[in-house]
Amino acid sequence: MSVFSDLRIQTVKQSRRDQVDFDNLGFGDVFCDHMFSLVFEDGRWQRPEILPFGPLPLHPSALSLHYGQAVFEGLKAFRGKDEVVRIFRPDMNAKRLVGSCKRLCIPPIEPEVFYAAIEHLIRLDHAWIPRTRGQSLYIRPIIFGTESHLEVRPARTFRFVVMTAPVRKYFQDDVKAIELKAEEKYTRAAPGGMGYAKTAGNYAASLYPGELGRKEGYAQVLWLDGAEHRYVEEVGAMNIFFKFKNTVVTPELHGTILPGVTRDSVITLLKDQAMPVEERLVDIDEVIDGMRSGELEEIFGAGTAAVICPVGAIAYKGQRHEMSKNSAGPLTRKLYDTITGIQLGEVEDKFGWTRVVDVDAAVSAAAAGD
């Protein structure tokens, strides 16, 4: 029997959409009318609900508040000029969520449940999907332990929530390059830790170094490895790529780096274009030397929020190193245009990355899990 067979739907009496200034969106400060909720009790996921967006009851001793047992995802839906609504690569998010759940002793969400929850929300609130190019509907699924207890152990009850929010571009200018600060003291993740999982604790560890960097004028932290602070890992909100002449290099996944959806998309597109790609250890000295010599032609980040973002400077050991130009290079621009084009239905989706949502379909228990 489908978990959606007893779906409860409680719609808002009046939408808040007309109160939103879509010309001045932030990133995650305005939420759509509804949210999806599913609880794990008695050894199974049950009681699916769609509710008006708002606070949920949570006991002060809920284990997730004390021991960080929470995982989440981030993906986007887009409305193209053809009026078709598309979600970009939700299969990868569903797979990554399962991996994160396993690492944190959380019962996984089956992919079909993941898809159905998101699609139900989009069908209800599709009017919230922005029509301005560069904007999108951000989708945030999260799972957290709800059991009331203080013993240090995995929770036995959980809640899976999906919320949606119309958002602007993550970085307001998609052409101007951002500046990064290579972090020499603090560590995001260590071997054997949770670096590959999308969990709240990893982001908590990044907040203080990120604030220090921003006070110095840098947009994000460039994380180095936890053992030697020598090898590049990722950026605060993105994976990182380096174009050395005719080869693109990115840090290899070895358990301390988040396996990004956009990262995988970039690698696939480059290989499809016969561009050599290397996934390997990247020494920060190699990066700085390449910037100085001109061998390093482009640096860009890749992530769901930012899509593709050029990097124009890196600070390391008290010195700021600049790229030759403070804007997107030709490869960076091409990748950005290709991925956004696929998301909007303007470029052929030859890899089958987008999942189309029929927003005219009825939102009901009978339609769940289609």
Q: Write a three-state SS string for 254-300.
A: CCCCCCCHHHHHHHHHHHHCCCCEEEECCEHHHHHHHHHHCCEEEEE
Distance of CA 25 to the CA centre of its chain: 18
Mean pLDDT of 135-160: 97
Q: What 3-state class would DSSP assign to 115?
A: helix
On whether the 3-168+351-362 domain is CATH 3.30.470.10, my answer is yes
DSSP string, 35-91: EEEEEEETTEEEEEEEEES------TTBHHHHH--EEE--EEEEE-TT--EEEE-HH
Query: Is the confidence at residue 49, as pLDDT, over 90?
Result: yes
Give the whole-angstrom CA distance, residue 252 versus residue 59: 40
Q: Which two tokens stand for residue 281?
A: 């250890």
Q: Regarding the domain with residue range 178-328, which homologous superfamily does it belong to in the CATH classification? A: D-amino Acid Aminotransferase, subunit A, domain 2 (3.20.10.10)
- Angle at 46 (CA atoms; ends 49, 109), nearest 5 degrees: 95
Band of residue 366 on the pLDDT scale cut at 50, 70, 90 = very low
Query: CATH 3.20.10.10 region(s) of the chain?
Result: 178-328
Closest alpha carbon to 360 in 11, 97, 124: 124
**Residues spanned by CATH 3.30.470.10 within the chain?**
3-168+351-362
Phi-psi region of 101 (alpha: psi -120 to 50; beta: other; left: phi over 0): alpha
Please compute the mean of the pLDDT values over residues 92-97 and round it to a whole number.
98
> Could you read off the pLDDT of 181-196 as tens digits, one per residue?
999 999 999 999 999 9
Model confidence at 327, pLDDT cuts 50, 70, 90, reads confident
Confidence of residue 368 (pLDDT cuts 50, 70, 90): very low
Mean pLDDT of 228-251: 95
